[in-house]
Amino acid sequence: MSFNVLIVDDSNSMRSVIKKVVSMSGFKMDGCYEAGNGREALEVLGRQWVDVIISDINMPEMNGFEFLQALERDFILKNIPVIVISTESREDRINKSFELGAKGFIKKPFKPEEVKKILHEVLGVNDEGTYDAGEGEELDF
């Protein structure tokens, strides 16, 4: 199982770190796309389907909350799970992220294991990169 990932952060360095952490988390990345803010991310999404979005909040031009709102308004894009990764980790900001449709929240600074854990939870995959079966269920193809 491989995934297309979109990383949205205005810091080149942070995008590189997140990309590295995601690849170290056991996920096979088919493609990793990057954007410096929400507006650029929407442009990427117009050209490319992704399986998960990891987005910062505090960005110029279109911040993470505005980006989440734009995704929610689109009947196709709203189905892509978004993990917010931000320094703004007060409870009201976390709650607002979830209210706007985010599926996970990671506080900066973070440890690689924290990113891995949230990715696994949001995508429902295990360490082997395959989908977790629900309790008492087996995936039998």
Partner 1 sequence: MKEHTMREKVKNSTSEVFEKMFYLYIEENEETVQPFVIASSIRFAGPWAGSVTMQFTDDLIQAMVRNMLGIEDGAVGQQERADCAREAVNMVCGNFLANLEGTDHFDLGIPQIVPQPDERSALTATERLFFKTDGGCLRVILAYPVDLWEDFAS
Q: Site residues (CB under 8 A) for partner 1? A: 10-14, 16-17, 20, 58-60, 86-93, 107-111
Which residue in this structure is represented by tokens 């703004």? Answer: 88
**Which lies closer to partner 1 via its Cβ, residue 28 or residue 90?**
90
Number of other CB atoms surrounding residue 35 within 10 Å = 23
CB of 85 to partner 1, least distance (A): 11
CB of 110 to partner 1, least distance (A): 6
39-61 per-residue burial string, b: 16 or more CB within 10 A, e: under 16: bbbbebbeeeebbbbbbbbebee
CB of 1 to partner 1, least distance (A): 26
**Which lies closer to partner 1 via its Cβ, residue 40 or residue 88?**
88
**Which lies closer to partner 1 via its Cβ, residue 20 or residue 78?**
20
CB of 65 to partner 1, least distance (A): 11
**Which lies closer to partner 1 via its Cβ, residue 12 or residue 130?**
12
Spell out the residues 6+ positions from residue 56 whose beta carbon is closer than 8 angstroms to its own: 8, 9, 10, 11, 14, 64, 84, 85, 86
DSSP secondary structure code for residue 111 in this structure: -
